[in-house]
A and B are shown apart, each in its own frame.
Chain A
């Protein structure tokens, strides 16, 4: 995957995570997960796990050790 494609994928993942953070799925009628975990807490933990995965991928594949020469164009 090219560097620009990787950055595009990273942007899509981040936007998806932000949407899922602001607009969580409806909790339905199940107030508890695994017998002791409130749904809203379980959802936040699951979201964090997904965010951690995204961070690991970005650090490994998207964030370069050395930026391209002449960086600093318009954001």
Chain B
């Protein structure tokens, strides 16, 4: 292991990110729309790479290889396949109308969009709270991934607190300086880094194993059970369908994804991003799953969350110090491209959907300053949770994703159904979440369906029933929200 080489590669990566962030900050004008939405100017390449960059986290680069280590190749169909359809569909059915409505209502955050659409400040408060509660665990998985990556690749020469704290500080610097434009520009570079690295690492490891046939023969000889879905509980029909539902619907409910959709310049850019998503998912997920399965053959015996490190162990075993440095840089890229968006979105919602509602006289400059302070608070809370490391990356992400699904009925009905009401939205989010956590506490939910399914049904039922029994927003508010006058 050559720590100097790894350090130099990461140093170059950090320098490039900071330069891009600085350039973006120079282009970012004054005002909340410029800072939080980059002036709504994202075209196809920037939009697609920022969406993908935001979507790919240590959950994919470390959690999925860790899961494949134990569960085999079925993990690919369990996760990757369904999102190739689910993400584009939700971008079409929810993202497109949300993009149009956000422009009509001059909304900058997802919570603000629905608060204005439903003419209710309470909706903004509830959505802000829900987005924060479900996003924090997701941020934790990202920072946890960095900590694991750094400690594994440096042989504990750099400790977990130093790695986690360092990545948080660096991300805060360019996010606070350049806002959305900085995060989107850096995401293009960061997405390119981890895409190229994954394909390269996959090819090198495969060559070391003697090619596809030799790799398959080794798996068949040493771990044949990993070559098929088999009778594993997580692949049982009910669990398979429930998880497909979760992972397909969760992405559009990530506030950091929805806000990026709102930053699109036009619908054509959004459609092009959907066209590019399925092949990009294959490039990311296939190496992630197979490196985990090959790792089970090469480095057997890892138990539970120990397998989160299998991707890095394979990298350490097969790649040169230079490429190990690139591996670390690619994980840093995946993490930074996600947490920058998460932090920025949550801070923008605090400023616009909570503080500004409570203090309407707050000017935009103060709003942005407050957003920056909230960024620091979020980073500190994340750091504290990471130090506790409550569970494996996959297990933490599962709770987070399930929670996001509880928001989908509100997002979908809010942009498609005129009769949807503020009370319906609040009831949907609250009852859906309550049902989710109740089902999680239940050892054996009925018919083998995961808790997320019961929570989603409760959220949907509450949204429809309560909306039909309460008064909708004033006619002029609804008319303004649904009027289709924006040129695509």
Contacts and interface: CB of A to CB of B under 8 A. Distances in A.
Contacts of B81: 21, 44, 47-48, 51
Contacts of A63: 92, 96, 271
Interface of B: 73-74, 76-77, 80-82, 84-85, 88-89, 92, 96-97, 100, 211-213, 215-216, 227-229, 237, 240-241, 244, 267-268, 271-272, 274-275, 277-279, 281-282, 286, 289, 412-413, 415-419, 478, 481-482, 484, 487-488
Given A27-B228, A32-B216, A72 B417 contact: yes
A49 to B, nearest CB: 8
A41 interface: yes
A59 B92 CA distance: 8
A72 B482 contact: yes
Contact of A48 (B281, B417, B482, B484): B281
A56 interface: yes
Contact of A41 (B76, B240, B267): B76
Given A59-B275, A68-B484, A73-B418, A48 B244 contact: no
Interface string A39-51: 1110111011001
A48 B80 contact: yes
Interface in A25-40: 27, 31-32, 35-40
A38 B276 CA distance: 26
B97 A71 contact: yes
B482 A71 contact: yes
A17 B85 contact: yes
A59 B88 contact: yes
Contacts of B240: 22
Contacts of A40: 73-74, 76-77, 227-229
A23 B241 CA distance: 9
State the 7 A-B residue pairs at the shortest beta-carbon distance, nearest first.
A72-B482, A44-B77, A36-B212, A52-B278, A51-B85, A65-B488, A36-B216
A43 B209 CA distance: 24
A66 B484 contact: yes
Contacts of A14: 85, 89
Nearest to B212: A36
A55 interface: yes
A75 B216 CA distance: 47
B274 A59 contact: yes
A35 B213 contact: yes
Contacts of B267: 65-66
Contacts of B88: 55, 58-59
Nearest to A43: B77
A55 B275 contact: yes
A35 to B, nearest CB: 5
A54 B86 CA distance: 11
Contacts of B272: 59
Most chain B CB atoms below 10 A, which of A24, A43, A52, A72? A72
A22 B244 contact: yes
A22 B86 CA distance: 14
